Amino acid sequence: MNNIQQTYDRLESGFFGFWVKNWRISFLVMALIAGLGAVSLIAIPKESSPTIKFGIIQITTIYPGVNPVDMDSLVTEEIEAAVKDISGIDKIDSTSQVGVAFTTLTLDNDADTREVLTDVKAEVDKVRLPSDAEDPNVSEISTDNELMFQMLLYGDS
């Protein structure tokens, strides 16, 4: 019996014992924490679609009916040569497919995206492409241009 009493006394005198003995204070503290959490949740500014800058510029050029090898030599290499010396560009990645060429420019972290975008558009406008090719589309990849979430539902109705 003495061991049980010692264990009980030890538990009662510890950190949790205080909160068990003073249960009214425990409930008051829990209510204060929940109340402050609710007030903070309401007070924190929220935006449903925040603008996120990725620092990526995409150049898309359409040239219908051209195979990837010709697309690469006639369009992709010309665009890469035009934009390679623009300051603020960290990396250039290109993909040529049947009838379309994609060039992705990854910018330096400290680069001004708007300024680089303007420079890229100016240089791409100077590129001489085949007459059948459409004008390249230069766009910044950001959450302003794209949907944050897409939901597709399939099924029988």
The model's pTM: 0.62
Query: Which CATH code for domain 53-142?
Result: 3.30.70.1430
Residue 59 burial by Cβ neighbours in a 10 Å radius (0-12, 13-18, 19+): buried
- pLDDT, one tens digit per residue, over 64-118 is 988 999 898 889 999 999 998 898 899 999 999 998 999 999 998 888 888 999 9
Quote the CA–CA distance of 79 and 73 in Å, as a whole number.
10
**Both structure tokens of 100:** 């379309």
Q: Rounded to an integer, what distance in angstroms lies between the CA atom of residue 38 and that of residue 16?
A: 26
Give all strands of the β-sheet with 137-142 in edge-to-edge order.
89-97, 100-107, 53-62, 137-142
